Amino acid sequence: MIATDVVDKYLRTCFGNSEPGDTMHHLLVAEANPNARGPLGQVDPDELRVTIYAIAPVGPDIKPEDFIAQTITAATVQAHQRGHVIHFAALTKEAHVVICDGNDEVMENRSRRMLADRQLEQHPLAVEASILYAAASDGRRWGGTHTLTGPDAGQVAGPTEIVGPIRRSELGIHERLIRMAVGISD
Q: Residue 68: inside a domain, yes or no? A: yes
Q: What is the mean pLDDT of residues 3-18?
A: 88
pTM of the predicted model over 0.75: yes
Tell me if 13 is assigned to some domain. Answer: yes
**Residue 90: enclosing H or E segment and its boundaries?**
strand 85-98
> What pLDDT sits at residue 19?
78
Mean pLDDT confidence for 44-69: 87
107 vs 173 pLDDT, higher one: 173
In terms of Cα–Cα distance, which of 88, 86, 85, 78 is closest to 11? 88
Over residues 138-156, the pLDDT tens digits come to 999 999 999 888 888 888 8
> What domain range is 61 assigned to?
4-92+128-181
In a domain, 52, yes or no: yes
User: Residue 178's closest CA among 150, 146, 126, 143?
Assistant: 143
**Cα distances (Å, whole numbers) of residue 177 to 38, 41, 137:** 28, 25, 13
**Is 74 part of any domain?**
yes
> In DSSP terms, which residues pair with 135 in a beta bridge?
89, 141
Residue 117 lies in a domain: no
Looking at the domain assignment, is residue 97 inside a domain?
no
Between 14-23, 42-51, 108-117, the lowest mean confidence (pLDDT) is in 108-117
The answer to whether residue 123 scores a pLDDT higher than 80 is: no
Q: Residue 17 domain-assigned? A: yes
Is 21 contained in some domain? yes
Rg (CA), the chain: 17
- What's the count of helices (H) and strands (E) in the chain, helices before strands? 4, 6
Output the CA–CA distances (angstroms, integers) from residue 130 to 2, 5, 14, 168, in the order listed.
24, 22, 10, 19
Give the chain's domain count.
1
Question: Average pLDDT for residues 98-122, to the nearest whole number?
Answer: 68
In the 3-class helix/strand/coil scheme, how is 97-121 assigned residue by residue?
EECCCCCCHHHHHHHHHHHHCCCHH
- pLDDT at residue 81 tops 90: yes
d(CA 80, CA 142): 23
Q: Is 118 left (phi over 0), alpha (psi -120 to 50) or beta?
A: left
